[in-house]
Amino acid sequence: MRPAAIVRVAIISLGALYLLLPLVGALEFALRMRRGVYSLDAFAAVFADHRFQDTFLYSCAQAVVTVVLGVGLIVPAAYAVRRHAPRLRGVVEFVTLLPLVVPAIVIVFGYVRLYGTSSFLPLTDSEWGANALLAFGYVTLSLPYIYRSIDAGLTSIDVRTLSEAAESLGARPHTVLLRVVLPNIRTAILSGAFLTAAIVLGEFTFASLLDRPAFGPFMQLLGANRAYEPAALSVVAFGLTWGLMVLIGTIGGRRRGNRG
């Protein structure tokens, strides 16, 4: 190997090592729960904890609601902008990027103030209202990702021709949207959905400050009180993220394949 190639491989290995070491550390630590031998006790304890099951299910439900709401809001908007108001495209794109500029903790602070107990719409006062507010917050957080996926999806199909073909056959606007546009961008929607799930499932700031029984605050609580379980949880969370990212990669690959 030439010296330059050796340096290259060394740099990549160092980078990969830094990314994998904490994972190995967490795994080794989690396996140490039973004195003297490696065991899966920490994992068993985590999975058997009913709070794990409850909060994880709660966060899964939040993720599903977030994706449905987000897609329901963004697909019509992105479609309308392309079809009827191209001049507004920059504005819509700017709005969807705002959640990357305004930190999540600032947005949730705004919610607590605007929708808190003594406000004009006290959403945080009822269980139902607080759950809805959390879902709205998650839709806001995932706007950049859902919009980017859907926009890429719309770019890859000929929106104008498809719509005009459907309209000339007598389809109304909502039929065009539901039965022509939506099926054609379903892979783009799916990859946006998985990315959203990756964000929502372990989210801490919103859930904690809106006092919701979600997975993120549960993990934090467990970390403050236990030694080995958090490490096991960390490994599980990494596996989950990995799974979602691989899913996104496979979907993306298939989409490219179809187009070519």
Residues 207-246 that bind another protein (CB under 8 A): 209, 216, 219-220, 223-224, 230-231, 233-235, 237-238, 241-242, 244-246
CB of residue 234 vs another protein: minimum separation in angstroms?
A: 4
Identify the DSSP state of 87.
G
What is the Cα–Cα distance from 224 to 126, expressed in whole angstroms?
28
What is the Cα–Cα distance from 182 to 106, expressed in whole angstroms?
34
Question: Which of 95, 152 has the CB closer to another protein?
Answer: 95
Q: Which of 1, 37, 127, 258 binds another protein (CB under 8 A)?
A: 1
Question: Which of 10, 57 has the CB closer to another protein?
Answer: 10
CA 114 to chain centroid: 25
CA atoms within 13 A on the CB side of 121: 7
What is the Cα–Cα distance from 150 to 81, expressed in whole angstroms?
12
* Candidates 43-51, 54-62, 88-96, 183-191; binding stretch for another protein (CB under 8 A): 88-96
Question: Which of 77, 162 has the CB closer to another protein?
Answer: 77
Binding mask 24-63 for another protein (x = CB under 8 A): xxx-xxx---------------------------------
Q: What share of the chain is helix, strand, coil (3-state, %, to 5)?
A: 85, 0, 15
**In the block, residue with structure tokens 């080995």:** 228
Binding mask 130-169 for another protein (x = CB under 8 A): ------xx-xx--x--------------------------
- DSSP of 92-108: HHHHHHHHHHS-HHHHH
CB of residue 164 vs another protein: minimum separation in angstroms?
A: 17
CA-angle at 47, arms to 44 and 49, nearest 5°: 105
Question: With binding defined as CB under 8 A, does residue 17 bind another protein?
Answer: no
